[in-house]
Amino acid sequence: MEFKNKVVVITGASRGIGEATARHFASLGAHVFLAARSAGRIGEIATALSSQGASAHAIACDVSDPAQVSRLVSTATDKTGRLDLMVNNAGVIDPIARLADSDPLEWARVVDINLKGVYHGLRYAIPAMVAQGGGTIVNISSGAATSALEGWSHYCATKAAVLSLTRVADREYRGDGLRVIGLSPGTVATRMQEQIRASGINPVSQLDWSAHIPAEWVAQAIAWLTTEEADPHLGSDFSLKSSEGRRAVGLPQI
């Protein structure tokens, strides 16, 4: 895959799937822009990548704030003149609680990050991509978008809404050359799964750690989603849980 001089913005790049994605695209020669709230951590990753010859930039950004996401996208486009791939990856699952035990303000905060954060990414990436005649947007989804899990009402509801945003964005902008696609990665060995395990509340929390795939596989899948081979999945969630999905990306079967 050729990503030399392509411009990639990744939200939630301070750890887990986002960090692995930034490292993967940097290794493929892209200009990567890492965004997260932990400014120190994304700065360390960008410095380490740059010392290996990559083009990596850290931009502190809380995706729940539209002004910060607007600044993230304009920093990338001002510096490089384009935006080829936007990965709307930032997301949270804590606090995990059944509906009657949930805190309305904390529940709303998850909507601000998981749903409005993705909307903000679309809102500011789309005009830049329309102006240049194309680009790919990957929204990180979850099996929770289409299933019900105890304690995850905030997470299931926001991921279902993100799938809806993926569908609508595809409907509105495919004709402008944009490729908008969701990625449901299955369970991934990141801090989020540590939080899920600690909750002990539903079957996902009981999974053996060996059931989770490495974040690097998800990064590889995101790269594959930028290719024409993934076009049949535009406007929908592509799942890495199925053996067909993993085979298409070139990942090992489990």
* Catalytic annotation present for 119: no
Question: Segment near ligand NAP (CB under 6 A), from 9-17, 25-33, 71-79, 167-175?
Answer: 9-17
Is 166 among the residues that bind ligand NAP (CB under 6 A)?
A: no
Is 245 among the residues that bind ligand NAP (CB under 6 A)?
A: no
Contact predicate 241/145, CB 8 Å: no
Tokens coding 236: 């929908």
Reported as type and span, the H/E element at residue 90 is: none
Question: Segment near ligand NAP (CB under 6 A), from 70-78, 86-94, 227-235, 246-254?
Answer: 86-94
The distance of closest approach from Cβ of residue 112 to ligand NAP in the complex, given in angstroms and rounded to an integer, is: 7
| 10, 30, 32, 36: which one binds ligand NAP (CB under 6 A) | 36
Is 62 among the residues that bind ligand NAP (CB under 6 A)?
A: yes
Q: How far apart are the first and last CA of the chain?
A: 24
* CA 250 from centre of chain: 20
Tokens coding 39: 């400014």
Kindly report the three-state secondary structure assignment for every residue of 80-101: HCCCCEEEECCCCCCCCCCHHH
| 91, 121, 151, 182: which one binds ligand NAP (CB under 6 A) | 91
The distance of closest approach from Cβ of residue 36 to ligand NAP in the complex, given in angstroms and rounded to an integer, is: 4
Is 90 among the residues that bind ligand NAP (CB under 6 A)?
A: yes
Is 220 among the residues that bind ligand NAP (CB under 6 A)?
A: no
Kindly give, in sequence order, each residue whose CB lies less than 8 Å from that of residue 251, ignoring residues fewer than 6 positions away: 213, 217, 220, 221, 240
Contact predicate 98/150, CB 8 Å: yes
Tokens coding 57: 């930039």
Q: Which stretches of the chain bind ligand NAP, using CB under 6 A?
A: 11-18, 36-38, 61-64, 89-92, 113, 140, 142, 185, 187-188, 190-193
- The catalytic residue positions are 155
